[in-house]
Chain A
């Protein structure tokens, strides 16, 4: 059996702790701002208003093509958050590769508390950070909501939204003179839902592909079934949402998904985007494929024979003997080996 482990952090601190500290710092800062100001006002002042002005500024840069401005904005945002995105994808990949160990732990430890502890240890070893996955999602959600609200004002499709825009636009002549923005982009009216179903369909398909690419294989049939349901539910939900939301939000969503696909290609490699991977219900993505995978996975693969040798004959918590013989690569001995290295 092979095992995938994360490389040791040169500083000696647990892997991901610096990222976690940074993340908690940001969350803390945002929380303080929200407490000092009213949440609605803070959201408006620090997110909606700058976003609106940034969008109008980008619109000026791309010669009044607001669709291109949204596209450009999305790319800038995704590039700015690429460390989080790569980290999330790597976490997912590590999770995918560690599935055998996870299943072993789940089989071996019946006590939920102990199992949870062992799982956390395993997560740490393989470099999977549950919070690391949450950060890009939180950013995505926050930006999505802010962008939706910004679009309501900028190309909101109603004169009422223009009244609202007047409250958010900075008093800079260049920005003021750009109003109103052209709502038309390709076949879309960015302020209104796309009634041709084309954009919602693209949103749905791209979401499906992106989800399948980063899906972690389920530990058991029940989880796999749930994942399969989710793989369809999320794209379907976004399809129907896009039918009712301004097309500008759909443009953002598609651009974001395409970016995520490229990022996935970088991390997982080409196999992650194969037809087999996308169409088969439980096809596991190539955990060790891709440029970053080749670089990082190879040295971390170790034989678990040592672990098996050190496994106790009977598990103290009553785990099944065959599973108990296979000691997962974590715990005290693992720590000693790390120290030796």
Chain B
């Protein structure tokens, strides 16, 4: 009995660890995806996940222009190249001390990890980030993210080397926002921090007096911070002083990242099962009564034209009229939905916690396809990856995964998953794919048109 008890307790002990649910982010040039593909680690991956094939494998060139040479090419000789051997452009696999073959990067995976942080070195092993919950933010040559260990990290986007680290007093479970060289970070210690993006020095802080789980959002000169005491704080981005004209408070905690819809309505929600539409200047409700869901609202809403698409933790997905908060339609997923809805090529993609992916018609919520079973727990936001963005012509404002607040001139229409780039694929929707990071680090790739796998395998671990 004691042994059984010990085994049970030991098994349970493993479950309680934070895993992280950071969604992926695309670099400004569209060539790199930043994603947490392992618990407490962040990696830079080549955005073009399609392999080189046929004659492309015989040379030592980057034929598909994704920054990697001969990725996904078959093994030649006795041994494959692996690990760091795949990140250079030389033929360096040996068998018994002699060159194994004359091909570069043979046997390397189709998705190349450019770097991973913390690295697998003695110094890197000392860092325990525990989990990463907010999507990374790329600004200039640096990548920023907050981790569950309470630190904000700035890394060199090129090689993943650490530039600076900023410490808060408690865990960070939100994304960062930025404006004019200043990063805004919220922590569960109850503070909003303004940090110099270049040096990591603190420029100011605001104490809310309550834990903060939602990401901050910058709209114009105002930073919105939703706290767990139910108060939505509107602060001057320069001085971090409260905007006196703005006031909003509800009884239950606010979990949802505030989202500005069509430049005129601020959407917030949380534990009281309600979605509020507010005037961003005064905080006064725009609807006669808040929209009532079936459970907590945590997923960031998606706004397209006059409709907000929201999901709650009971697995309900709603189409809500932005004018009056009327329910247009609803759809019931198989499990809780914490992931934000994604609009991809005219299909509303929903992924629930059990890893069921659905494609819905945005007009009436009817099912187009699904569920496609990913077989993994999914709490991260899905991400639309378009081949068009893999070319250097991509601009930061087209990055679907980037936080709107991360962009210097954020507007309401730049809600990440509702951006024009996300809803209309320049080179045809069928070429785009939905990237989902499942818990445990597996990357799942779906065709948004029919929910079929966009790669040979629906979900796979990325070889490091």
Contact = CB atoms under 8 A, between A and B. Distances in A.
Does B associate with A? yes
A177 B252 CA distance: 4
B17 A158 contact: yes
B9 A241 contact: yes
A156 to B, nearest CB: 6
A171 B313 contact: no
B129 to A, nearest CB: 13
A45 interface: no
A159 B173 contact: yes
A241 B17 contact: no
Contacts of B228: 179-180
B65 interface: no
A167 B6 contact: no
Interface string A139-164: 00100010011001000111111110
Residue from B12, B230, B353 having most chain A Cβ neighbours under 10 A: B12
Contacts of B21: 159-160
Contacts of B379: 160, 163
Contact of A245 (B9, B133, B211, B213): B9
Nearest to A240: B6
A17 interface: no
B313 A148 contact: no
A166 interface: yes
A7 B44 CA distance: 77
B6 A157 contact: no
A173 interface: yes
Contact of A166 (B9, B18, B296): B296
B336 interface: yes
B54 to A, nearest CB: 44
A246 B9 contact: no
B298 A173 contact: no
Contacts of B173: 159
A163 B16 contact: no
A110 to B, nearest CB: 29
Contacts of A163: 298, 313, 336, 338, 353, 379
Given A148-B9, A180-B228, A241-B6, A157 B16 contact: yes
A166 B296 CA distance: 7
B13 A179 contact: no
Interface string B1-37: 0100110111011011111010000000000000000
A179 to B, nearest CB: 5
Contact of A237 (B6, B213, B298, B338): B6
Nearest to B210: A180
A234 interface: yes
B336 A167 contact: yes
B271 interface: yes
Contact of A160 (B9, B10, B18, B296): B18
A189 to B, nearest CB: 10
Interface in B222-255: 228, 230, 251-253
B131 interface: yes
B272 interface: yes
Interface in B351-406: 353, 379
Contact of A159 (B12, B133, B295, B336): B133
A176 B182 CA distance: 35
Interface string A173-195: 10011011000000000010000
Interface in B97-154: 131, 133, 148
Interface in B258-281: 271-273
A152 B133 contact: no
What does DSSP make chain A's interface, helix, strand, loop or mixed? helix
Contact of B12 (A152, A166, A176): A152
A167 B295 CA distance: 8
Interface in A52-66: none
Nearest to B3: A237
Nearest to A149: B12
A288 to B, nearest CB: 30
Contacts of B6: 237, 241
A158 B131 contact: yes
A246 B16 CA distance: 8
B13 A167 contact: no
Contact of B272 (A141, A149, A177, A244): A177
Contact of B2 (A180, A237, A246): A237
B4 to A, nearest CB: 9
Contact of B13 (A145, A161, A245): A245
Contacts of B298: 163, 166
B8 A145 contact: yes
Contacts of A173: 251-252, 272
A158 B272 contact: no
Contacts of A159: 18, 21, 131, 133, 173, 213
Contacts of B353: 163
B13 A244 contact: yes
A149 B271 CA distance: 21
A180 B133 contact: no
Contacts of A160: 18-19, 21, 379
Contacts of B2: 233-234, 237
Residue from B6, B13, B19, B313 having most chain A Cβ neighbours under 10 A: B13
Contacts of A145: 8, 12
B255 to A, nearest CB: 8
A141 B2 CA distance: 10
Given A166-B296, A171-B273, A177 B16 contact: no
Given A145-B8, A159-B173, A167 B313 contact: yes
Interface string B192-218: 000000000000000000010100000
Interface string A216-244: 00000000000000000110010001001
Given A163-B336, A166-B295, A179 B12 contact: no
Contacts of A161: 16
Contacts of A158: 16-19, 131, 148
A180 B227 CA distance: 11
Contacts of A141: 5
A180 B253 contact: yes
A241 B8 CA distance: 11
A194 B265 CA distance: 45
Interface in A119-135: none
Contacts of A179: 228, 252-253, 271
Interface in A226-284: 233-234, 237, 241, 244-246
B12 to A, nearest CB: 6
Contacts of A167: 295, 313, 336
27 contacts: A141-B5, A145-B12, A152-B12, A152-B15, A157-B18, A158-B16, A158-B18, A158-B131, A159-B173, A163-B353, A166-B271, A166-B336, A167-B295, A167-B336, A173-B251, A173-B272, A176-B272, A177-B253, A179-B253, A179-B271, A180-B228, A234-B2, A237-B6, A241-B6, A241-B10, A244-B10, A245-B13
Given A159-B173, A177-B253, 6 more contacts: A148-B9, A160-B21, A167-B313, A176-B252, A177-B252, A179-B271
